[in-house]
Structure 1
Amino acid sequence: MRLIEQAWYHNHPIKWLLLPFNVLFYLLSALRRILFNLGILKQPSLDIPVVIVGNIGVGGNGKTPVVIYLIEQLKQRGLKVGVISRGYGGEKRNSPLLLTNETTAEQAGDEPVLIFKRCQVPVVVSSDRVAAVNLLISQGCNMVISDDGLQHYRLKRDVELVIVDGKRRFGNGWLLPAGPLREGVWRLKTVDKVIINSGLADVNEQHMSLKGNKLVNVHDGSVVAVADFIDQHGKDNVVNAMAGIGNPERFFISLHELGFSLGQKIPFVDHHHFCETDFGQFSSNAPLLMTEKDAVKCSGIAPQNSWYLPVEAHFDDNQGEQLIDLIITRCKNYGF
């Protein structure tokens, strides 16, 4: 675990050295919010509804599976959904990039490529999210989901959803850089829904879990049910695992809960750019399991016996349907 994460989640004393920078971060972010609230900084109008799927902290909280869930459900309602993203981990760009089948994770970032490949909907990456929305409008989209962007106040929004890692929650509760938060916990009172990824949900929070029941070969796309994979390799046979996500341990725990016996398990930083030497750490005689987010970057360099675990967002009772109904109701002003 990186030293900064020890400060955020395990009370390492280095946080006190970073505390003075919190004041500067708070003042700058608060000033920006005030300028938008007063109308001094403008929020351009847009002709279609925008749903923000974001968080108040850094690191992977499970936003992408929620984005995929919303896309699939809204498509069933007859909507043409597009997705915008900053494209973290990809090339920095101001002009919008519309993803195609040839777009790589190095160009656009791993999460946008994952969403495009899984959902086959228009996806645009750009630091100018307003320009990205306008490009999606030109593609015929009538609803936009923003993967992250809660703090991008220039982008008008109709629904705000915040995803929280139920195990790590808000760490030490401090703002960056001494803590993991981009905005204070007070911000949760202003959003439409707070969705807890695993862990226990408090009052007014909605519980979600991520579940996967199949493995997909990184190279040829062949699919094997998890139960069959374990049977084929023997329950006592060891598999290796890697994860370059915000909380790699969550992935390793999920594999253990599925019944896998883990040998080597190597975490990488979020949005890690993989190279061939990364895979030299693993023994070649065991299958290598990874996340779908990592797989979009590894198809040309991972060992042949490499597999990824796609996961789906699952909500308790009928809360998923209620979430979709909220979005549709909020967007009726657009003629839905």
Structure 2
Amino acid sequence: MLALRLLLPRVWYTPRHPLSRALAPLAGLFCMAVSVRRFAYGRHILATHHPGVPVIVVGNITTGGTGKTPLVIWLADLLRRHGLRPGIVVRGYGGKAKRWPQWVDADSDPTLVGDEAVLLARRTACRVVAAPDRVAAARALVASNQCDLLLCDDGLQHYALARDMEIAVVDGVLGVGNGRCLPAGPLREPVSRLAGVDLVIRNTQARDEACHQHHEQIHDRPHDVADRGQRNTNANHMDAHGVPSHNPYAHDANEYRMTLTPGDPMTVADNRGRPLGFFKDTPVHAVCGIGHPERFFGTLRQLGIPIRPHAFPDHHAFSAEDLAFEDKLPILMTEKDAVKCRRFAGARHWYLPVNAELDPALGARLLEILSD
């Protein structure tokens, strides 16, 4: 299972991969099923529930990380600065709690509620509730009278929760891969789904030459979009990297760029910082369990940090044995992974925080949409 979770992303982002072709019929069925499901919710054949306060859903149409959580942190800060009290709803992916919803704070156990939930609780001043049933989480937050607006992290496909605004995050490097739906490609929904969202955010973080070469290897030929009717009807709106150049059904004013800016590395155990220059003379073990590990490795290379990369599956439940390298070199990881490693972290465990930077005009546009 571990090998499969690492293999599939390579299949999805490699043009004309034979395994993707073999899985294309299943992808066709998946695409049809998600379209029917969305139609059923849109026509109220399946019930939707609105919690009674404005709901902003942040999500994506591909699997893996695109920068949703940093964006939610940025949005929470923006809304609080404008006098609102946002609460945050998350799925609690990877959490093993026996009962849901779960209230999450900075000291919650990520094995129970998931790493992203704890990260959001630590980085925002908002109440956070995790539950696979987002409606139940939303109801819990609203019933507590501690929020007047909800942010739903990774809830674009959770249609049972009615929403007032949808924000889709697109990976500015990996794009939509081969253009196929799961399991042949990375798409949770067809690319045309971007037509229905209110805002599109393109994560255009810088990448080093190694990451760029990896990216070119993936995208140096036209995408092998799926056979059997899965051909991407928005192909004319893709750039050379297979990234939607814009939402073809919306105004360009509704599209914004986001960059993730790294800060100084911090110790996992007690959040003590060191300047980046401290890590430029000695190799580090770069560890990450995110959807696209090359993004993290590329960032470290671009910062001039020599690395020994170690990729794990997304949301990997780290143990001390996973990081028991024989040498004494520093271990540098993502902030999301640090949440899971804090219980056994030692002096050589560090994480790299990142902050989302967006056009200030986005805040004005978002508040304008909310007021309509």
TM-score normalised per structure 2: 0.82
- 1:57-96 alignment to 2 at 5 Å? 57-91=62-96, 95-96=100-101
Of 276, 289, 294, the match for 2:337: 294
Give yes or no for contact 1:93–1:127 (8 Å, CA) kept in 2.
Answer: no
1:106 alignment partner, SS class? helix
1:114 CA drift (Å): 0.3
Q: Does 1:225 align with 2:270?
A: no
Measure, in 1, the Cα distance between the counterparts of 2:180 and 2:98: 30
Q: Secondary structure at the match of 1:298?
A: helix
Q: Of 315, 323, 339, which residue of structure 2 is paired with 1:271?
A: 315
Q: Deviations over 1:161-216 (max 9, x none)?
A: 11111111000000011010011110111111211112688343421111112111
How far is 1:58 from its partner? 0.3
Which AA in structure 2 matches 1:146?
C
Q: Corresponding residue for 1:241?
A: 286
Q: Is the 1:94–1:128 Cα contact (8 Å) retained in structure 2? A: no
What per-residue deviation string (whole Å, max 9, x for no partner) do you get for residues 73-120 of structure 1? 111111111100111111266731111344211011101100101113
Q: Does 1:156 align with 2:162?
A: yes
SS at match of 2:179: coil
| Aligned amino acid, residue 27 of structure 1 | M
Query: Counterparts of 1:122 and 1:213 in 2: how far apart (Å)?
Result: 25
Task: Decide whether the 8 Å contact of 2:50 with 2:163 is kept in 1.
Answer: no
Output the aligned Cα RMSD.
1.8
CA contact (8 A) 1:214 1:310 kept: yes
Contact in 2 for aligned 1:87/1:125 (Cα 8 Å): yes
Q: Counterpart of 1:7 in structure 2: which amino acid?
A: V
Match of 2:126 among 115, 121, 141: 121
Q: Partner of 2:69: helix, strand, or coil?
A: helix
Deviation at 1:10, TM superposition (A): 0.8
1:18 Cα deviation (Å)?
1.1
**Is the aligned partner of 1:212 residue 2:262?**
yes
Deviations 1:269-291 (A, max 9, x none): 100011122112x3432111100
CA–CA distance in structure 2, aligned partners of residues 48 and 181 of structure 1:
30
Distance 2:24 2:347 in 1: 47
Equivalent position amino acid for 1:275 in 2: S
- SS of corresponding position for 1:10: coil
Q: In structure 1, what is the equivalent of residue 195 of structure 2?
A: 189
Output the amino acid matched with 1:266.
H
The answer to whether 1:256 aligns with 2:301 is: yes
Pair 118,177 (structure 1): closer, same or farther in 2 beyond 3 Å: same
Q: Distance in 1 between matches of 2:263 and 2:11?
A: 35
Distance 1:223 1:177, change over 3 A: same
Q: Distance in 1 between the 2:319 and 2:204 partners?
A: 31
Matching residue within 18, 29, 33 for 1:24: 29
SS in 1 for 2:286: strand
**Aligned counterpart in structure 2 of residue 179 of structure 1, from 180, 185, 191:** 185
Corresponding position: 1:105 with 2:149: no
Which residue number in structure 1 is paired with residue 328 of structure 2? Answer: 285
Distance 2:244 2:362 in 1: 16
Classify 1:92/1:18 alpha carbon distance in 2 versus 1 (closer, same or farther; 3 Å): farther
Could you tell me which amino acid in structure 1 is paired with residue 82 of structure 2? R
Unaligned runs of 5+ in 1: none
Q: What runs of 5+ residues in structure 2 fail to find an aligned partner?
A: 206-242, 247-251
Native 8 Å contact 2:103 2:130 kept in 1: yes
| Number of aligned residue pairs | 322
**Higher alpha-carbon deviation: 170-179 or 121-130:** 121-130
For 1:49, give the aligned amino acid.
Answer: P
* TM-score normalised according to structure 1 size: 0.91
Q: Are 2:170 and 2:200, in contact at CA under 8 Å, matched by a contact in 1?
A: yes
Amino acid at match of 1:273: A
**1:155 Cα deviation from its structure 2 partner:** 0.9
Give the distance between the partners of 1:93 and 1:210, measured in 2 at CA.
35
Contact in 2 for aligned 1:26/1:175 (Cα 8 Å): yes
Aligned to 1:132: 137
Match of 2:245 in 1: 202
In 1, the alpha carbon distance for the partners of 2:136 and 2:54 equals 14
